Amino acid sequence: MLGPVILAASRSDRMRRLVSAAPVTKQVVDRFIPGEDVDDIVPVVRGLADNGLELTMDVVGEDITTPAQAAAARDAYLELVDRLKPLELGPRAEMSVKLSMFGQALPSPTTALFEGPSGPTRTFQDGHELALKNVRPVVEAAAEIGTTVTLDAEDHTTLDSMFAIHEELRKDFPQTGCVIQAYLFRTEDDARRLAASGSRVRLVKGAYKEPASVAYQDKHEIDRAYVRVLRTLMEGKGYPMIGSHDPRLIAIGQELAHQAGRKLDEYEFQMLYGIRTDEHLRLASEGHRMRVYTAYGTDWYGYFMRRLAEKPANLRFFARSMITKG
């Protein structure tokens, strides 16, 4: 019940100020976001890799209001690529990007035409073309050091644009991944299309406040949808990435992979930095590919609030810390 309230708070400037000003906030945020700049994150990357874990890195920040901010986000990822290069981790350290950071929602003076999943040609206005222009050099730079990029899913109004950019990038960089969200009604159709294309696809439950007209609202319905979609991905030709901390869904994922005849290197698990760390290590020790979603940056508020909304235990952790250390 608290999830929608927290998601609404993630868009509130007043709540941002209150949470940011709390003395204990930084200590709690550090559990989920281990640094504010690339110098902070490089030792974290090394440490996780030394423990047999893989990474996908996210430079946090979504409230982009100018083309200059979108270009700065692009440059932050290019700096990350430069710092990853000497580590020589290749695909063990990839990147996740939100197209909102690259200007997807900004007004644009032109209308762009792209082939997309909803038809042979889709018309996109706003910042679609700007987002593609900004994300392409990041994908190119990642490929040059032997790694790749995954496009994160955001709210349902952005998805046709995201999928069209994904298809456009895959023409030159077929390893480019994308994310689908189990709670959306459209996702089963998206999964069938992507499973047949050889894509890299991360499946998550979904962390945005969506209306009942487009998304399941009941947790059990979302879990059932997650299993249906995951079965489609496992039985398809793509590379499934299981984004979940739920022990039951992790076990189901292992069983579905076994039923589909997949080897341990033909799918992977993904979990957030700071959540179920022992499980990260357990899965890696059993030979599974275990990738840790690791975010960093100064604009952490929206990311942090969604982590609280996703799981009551995260909210309890934050509240307990506020009480005992505030």
Catalytic sites, residue numbers: 152, 202
Torsions phi, psi for 180 (to 5 deg): -125, 155
Centre a 10 Å sphere on the Cβ of residue 200 and count the other Cβ atoms it contains: 22
Q: Which two tokens stand for residue 90?
A: 């290749």
d(CA 208, CA 98): 13
Cα(274)–Cα(248) distance, integer angstroms: 19
Where does residue 155 fall: left (phi above 0), alpha (psi -120 to 50 degrees), or beta otherwise? beta
DSSP string, 251-279: HHHHHHHHHTT--GGGSEEEEETTSSHHH
**Which residues pair with residue 239 across a beta bridge?**
200
Q: What is the distance between the alpha carbons of residues 321 and 326, in angstroms, rounded to a whole number?
A: 7
Give residues with Cβ within 8 angstroms of 14, minimum separation 6.
none
The CA–CA distances, whole Å, from 243 to 95, 131, 181, 293 equal 15, 25, 10, 9
The torsion angles phi and psi of 253, rounded to 5 degrees, stand at: -60, -45
Give the DSSP H/E element, type plus range, for residue 225.
Answer: helix 219-235
b/e 80-116 (16+ beta carbons within 10 angstroms → b): bbeebeeeebeebbbbbbbbbbbbbbbebeeebebeb
